[in-house]
């Protein structure tokens, strides 16, 4: 009877045994595969998310929070697989980044403001200063 219960627990993958399979092996391998595929540069959000979830899974395991550790390990694996796919697509040229109209407008406004500042700085001759800087230091109660 006791052997049957023990075998059932081992097969179910609970506790440290489940951790070894799901987090230590599968999730860690998925993160390593994503890194090898160049995900750190080509899919940074997914890659660093997977790294962070994997680290948290390991921390939770240290506190015997098995279920939460499994959840974090599973999320790390999912993000790592997404990162790997995205990185491979970008390297093959199948995925191109696009810029939304709002980002284009914001970049154009920033460039216009920078040009205006540069023009204002160019109008000031050498040796001349525009504006003033005042600083005061007070020590004590006065």
129 part of a folded domain: no
Whole-angstrom distance, CA of residue 74 vs CA of residue 129: 60
CA 135 and chain centroid, separation: 41
Question: What are the start-end ranges of the H helices in the chain?
Answer: 2-12, 15-19, 28-36, 39-42, 44-62, 66-92, 101-123
Residue 17 has pLDDT above 80, yes or no: no
| 60 within a domain of the structure (yes/no) | yes
**How big is the CA angle at 56 (ends 51 and 60), to the nearest 5 degrees?**
150
Is position 73 within any domain?
yes
Q: Give the model confidence (pLDDT) of 98-135 as tens digits.
A: 555 555 555 555 555 556 555 555 555 555 555 555 65
Q: Tell me if 87 is assigned to some domain.
A: yes
Distance CA(130)–CA(142), nearest Å, equals 31
Residue 101 lies in a domain: no
Enclosing domain of residue 58? 15-92
Residue 31 falls inside a structural domain: yes
Residue 106 lies in a domain: no
Percent of the chain with pLDDT over 70: 54
The verdict on residue 10 lying in a domain is: no
Number of compact structural domains in the chain = 1
Between 93 and 20, where is the model more confident? 93
Closest CA relative to residue 50, chosen from 29, 77, 15: 77
pLDDT at 24: 77
Which pTM value belongs to this model? 0.57
Q: What is the pLDDT confidence band of residue 86, given thresholds at 50, 70 and 90? A: very high
């Amino acid at each position: 009877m006791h052997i049957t219960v023990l075998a059932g627990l081992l097969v179910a993958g609970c506790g440290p045994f489940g951790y070894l399979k799901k987090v230590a092996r599968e999730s860690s391998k998925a993160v390593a595969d994503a890194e090898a595929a160049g995900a750190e540069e080509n899919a940074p959000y997914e890659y660093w998310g997977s790294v962070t979830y994997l680290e948290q899974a390991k921390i939770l395991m240290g506190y015997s929070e098995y279920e939460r550790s499994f959840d974090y390990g599973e999320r790390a694996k999912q993000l790592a697989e997404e990162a790997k796919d995205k990185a491979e697509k970008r390297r093959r040229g199948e995925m191109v980044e696009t810029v939304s109209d709002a980002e284009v407008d914001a970049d154009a406004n920033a460039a216009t403001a920078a040009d205006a500042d540069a023009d204002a700085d160019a109008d000031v001759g050498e040796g001349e200063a525009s504006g003033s800087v005042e600083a005061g230091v007070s020590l004590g109660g006065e």
